[in-house]
Amino acid sequence: MKLAAFTYRCPNTGKNVHGWTAEAIPEDAAESTYVSTQCPACSRVHLIDPATGRVLGDDQHYARQPAELCGWLTP
């Protein structure tokens, strides 16, 4: 079994996180395929498209706001 690595941005902390999946990552698929992964940055479960690193339901403005308010990111 070969693990495929991918990177995504945690919507709760705004940090870049590395993930792995044992499923094949189709790069030319017409539809997105999401895998569930437990985030080491916030300990919550996110649905990630490993081909793009997009988090299902992610809204960049609202995802970054809590991290900026906590001082983790500079605006």
Task: Tell me the residue ranges of DSSP E strands in the chain.
Answer: 4-9, 16-21, 35-38, 45-49, 54-55
pTM comes to 0.65
Q: What is the mean pLDDT of residues 52-60?
A: 77
pLDDT band at 16 (very low <50, low <70, confident <90, very high): very high
pLDDT band at 62 (very low <50, low <70, confident <90, very high): very low
Has residue 27 got a pLDDT over 90? no
Cβ neighbours, 10 Å, residue 31: 7
